[in-house]
Structure 1
Amino acid sequence: MKSFIILLLGINAASAVTHSLKYFYTGSTGIEGFPQFVAVGIVDGMQIDYFDSVSEKNVLKQSWMEGVRDEKMITNTRKGNQQTFKANVEIGMQRFNQTTGVHTFQLMYGCELGDDGITRGDFQYGYDGADFLSLDKSTLTWTAANQKAVITKLKWDATGADANFQKNYLENTCIEWLKKYVNYGKDTLERKVRPSVSLLQKTPSSPVTCHATGFYPSGVMVFWQKDGQEQHGDVEHGEILQNDDGTFQKSTHLTVTPEEWKNNKYQCVVQLAGIEDDITKVLIESEIQTNFGKTNRGSNDPNTIGLIIGGVIALLVIIAVVGVVIWKKKNKKGFVPASTSDTDSENSGKGIQKI
């Protein structure tokens, strides 16, 4: 069973994927001060809208989304989803013999369009941080992750209508709207921005961090080399995070003694999708920026340490606002495209059922 992780605005680091459209819904109970339903739409790792059960109004997060679709219709659709998710949390608690506590019912679905024209799509439900039910497009059936989900699988498989509906959405409707969104937001979504790269270290004995920030798109590789050979041992890769301005950041940490890196040529290499030239930073004392001791380089540089702090704050805001939990996917499967109406830009209420 796959483990669930905190959603970081749906960021996808796979450079082979050119564009993606994903939606994340969470129904919850027992979380004080948090909406019982949250829905978020994401294009290419960039949040496009937000809805919750407190405001009950869909809010656009990108100016280029203005006028693209019928927002009143989207709001009404999500109000319907809100009631469905409230019911599904209750049903889930009954099936698992739960009467109190914090419980969540999640849905992640969406499509991806590769630069080779190949499309992909997923439609997956989760309960309390674990897989629950997922669509198998090849057989037009639902896969139950546990015995409690078998009840829903049998019900939905009986007619095949739900599987057909979602397969058509993922292969046709979703791809068509993804293309439309990318066309409207191409100045933002298809821009290429080179990263700023810094070498950071907390103390002389701490790992050296290669921090790349401010880049777009998110497809990036940040790795360490020793004497021209890529290092795998003693290297830890961080997640790709999103900055407040929609660009991204990533850190890769190298554990090495000062004696070792002073006697060998270590360098950090950053490769960004869409940009041919690599960016390199050679590990020398003058390049290291830190916050220990008066003699250390870059100790007061707000553009380096500040970026790290800002990234952490941004991450906390994302978690607090979005509050969506999803699972890591090991395998993806593929598909194809077509067209639809304005009211179908997001999966309609009839496509998201009670379990």
Structure 2
Amino acid sequence: MRKPFILGLLWTINIASAVTHSYQYFYTATAGIKGFPEFVAVGMVDGEQISYYDSSSKQLIPRQEWVKKAVDVEFWERNTQVFLNTQVSFEASVEIAMQRFNQIDGVHTLQKRYGCEWDSETGTTDGFELYGYDGEDFIAFDMKNMRWITPSPQGVTTKSKWDRDRILNEMRKSYLTQICIEWLKKYVGYGRSTLERKVPPEVSLLQRDPSSPVTCLATGFFPEGIVVSWQKEGEDLHEDVELGETLPNNDGTFQKTSRLRVKPEDWKKDTYTCTVQHKCLKEDIVKRVYEEEIRTNHGFVPSDSKSVYSSVLI
């Protein structure tokens, strides 16, 4: 079973899978978070945000100029109405989930990720629809066997109900294997210059103060697939390393950090290096850890992303 998204997670694309395109939507409904919309929907193509809706604005808006050319002028208003209905459904679903888990109050999150993938070289396609509750797997659609799978006892009721609805499951499969793929190919065609652009990363070594861990920051790169690793005396280092998520920048590029948790006296004595691999690079970028290479990093905090047809969990 695929692991669910969690709030702020953008899945990492393997460097070698450049021909694989994806179209997906993230829905997030929350309870108990003041100042945050109770419902957010984000549409993405190849990791690029193309549309956004939340319960505060109640308006679906485009996030890319090229996506406006791919749809008719009524598209945004028409689908705003769809998301208004989806919002009501998901807000009700959070309350039902809380009842299932015997929760009266507190902060809770129900999330859904669905969409499709297409390999433009082999023609292979795939589809997925899955839900998470409070950051854990809740239920997922097994498209091959036309059934729902849940690791959670609280999801059994939902599984039983959705398994019985064969017509709706056939509609899901039709959407994921046909309609979604058609839209994905259309979006890739219109957004090719943006989606297939290649921007190499800029790499820096950062440190808050002389006694803090050293951070290797790769930023400004596209596409998002990247490998950031540490070596000690030329050998790959896995201990004392904290790898961050790949996060979006405001300009549509990405950033990734990895922290080396060793004392300064260690990296002053032995040779430590940070190596960055990205498809845009002819050669790997290698940064050796020594004082002249490290930028003082007072106040540095990597940017975070709180990005993100529906069913009520009855």
* TM-score of Structure 1 vs Structure 2, range by shorter chain: 0.7 to 0.9
What is the match of residue 251 of structure 1?
257
The aligned amino acid for 2:12 is N
- Asked whether the 8 Å contact 1:107–1:126 carries over to 2, the reply is yes
- Asked whether the 8 Å contact 1:16–1:115 carries over to 2, the reply is no
What is the match of residue 171 of structure 1?
177
State the shift of 1:170 in Å: 1.9
Please, which of 58, 63, 66 is the counterpart of residue 64 of structure 1?
A: 66
State the shift of 1:36 in Å: 2.6
Equivalent residue of 2:144, what SS? coil
- TM-score normalized by the length of structure 1: 0.77
Alpha-carbon separation, structure 1, partners of 2:139 and 2:30: 17
Alpha-carbon separation, structure 1, partners of 2:188 and 2:245: 25
Please, which of 125, 149, 161 is the counterpart of residue 155 of structure 1?
A: 161
The aligned amino acid for 1:26 is T
- TM-score normalized by the length of structure 2: 0.86
Q: Identical aligned pairs, as a percentage?
A: 49
Alignment pair present for 1:78 and 2:36: no
Equivalent residue of 1:164, what SS? helix
State the shift of 1:105 in Å: 2.8
Please, which of 232, 241, 244 is the counterpart of residue 235 of structure 1?
A: 241
What is the match of residue 195 of structure 1?
201
What is the match of residue 354 of structure 1?
312
Alpha-carbon separation, structure 2, partners of 1:30 and 1:205: 38
- Asked whether the 8 Å contact 2:113–2:131 carries over to 1, the reply is yes
What is the match of residue 223 of structure 1?
229
Alignment of 1:105-124 (within 5 A): 105-114=110-119, 117=122, 118-124=124-130
State the shift of 1:134 in Å: 0.9
State the shift of 1:210 in Å: 1.6
- Asked whether the 8 Å contact 1:11–1:218 carries over to 2, the reply is no
Residues 66 and 95 of structure 1: is their aligned pair in 2 closer, same or farther, counting only changes over 3 Å? same
What is the match of residue 329 of structure 1?
none
- Residue by residue over 1:185-239, the C-alpha shift from the partner in whole angstroms, topping out at 9 and shown as x without a partner, is 1221111111111112233333222211111111111112233332223222222
Please, which of 180, 183, 186 is the counterpart of residue 180 of structure 1?
A: 186
The aligned amino acid for 2:58 is E
Alignment pair present for 1:127 and 2:128: no
Please, which of 41, 47, 51 is the counterpart of residue 39 of structure 1?
A: 41
The aligned amino acid for 2:140 is S
- Residue by residue over 1:38-76, the C-alpha shift from the partner in whole angstroms, topping out at 9 and shown as x without a partner, is 211122222211112232210111111113222222212
Deviates more, 1:206-215 or 1:144-153: 144-153
Alignment pair present for 1:12 and 2:12: yes
Alignment of 1:42-57 (within 5 A): 42-57=44-59
Alpha-carbon separation, structure 1, partners of 2:108 and 2:263: 46
Alpha-carbon separation, structure 1, partners of 2:101 and 2:244: 35
- Structure number with higher relative contact order (C-alpha < 8 Å, ≥ 6 residues apart): 1
Alignment of 1:184-333 (within 5 A): 184-291=190-297, 308-309=300-301, 311-312=302-303, 315=304, 318-319=305-306, 322=307, 324=308
The aligned amino acid for 1:41 is G
- Residue by residue over 1:284-327, the C-alpha shift from the partner in whole angstroms, topping out at 9 and shown as x without a partner, is 33212115xxxxxxxxxxxxx68x44x33xx2xx32xx4x4xxx
Alpha-carbon separation, structure 2, partners of 1:251 and 1:64: 30
Residues 196 and 121 of structure 1: is their aligned pair in 2 closer, same or farther, counting only changes over 3 Å? same
What is the match of residue 300 of structure 1?
none
Alpha-carbon separation, structure 2, partners of 1:135 and 1:182: 26
- Residue by residue over 1:251-302, the C-alpha shift from the partner in whole angstroms, topping out at 9 and shown as x without a partner, is 22223444543454432211102433211223333212115xxxxxxxxxxx
Residues 232 and 185 of structure 1: is their aligned pair in 2 closer, same or farther, counting only changes over 3 Å? same
RMSD: 2.6
Deviates more, 1:11-20 or 1:272-281: 11-20
Deviates more, 1:89-98 or 1:154-163: 89-98
Q: How many residues align?
A: 306
Alpha-carbon separation, structure 1, partners of 2:62 and 2:41: 12
Equivalent residue of 1:239, what SS? coil
Alpha-carbon separation, structure 2, partners of 1:106 and 1:181: 24
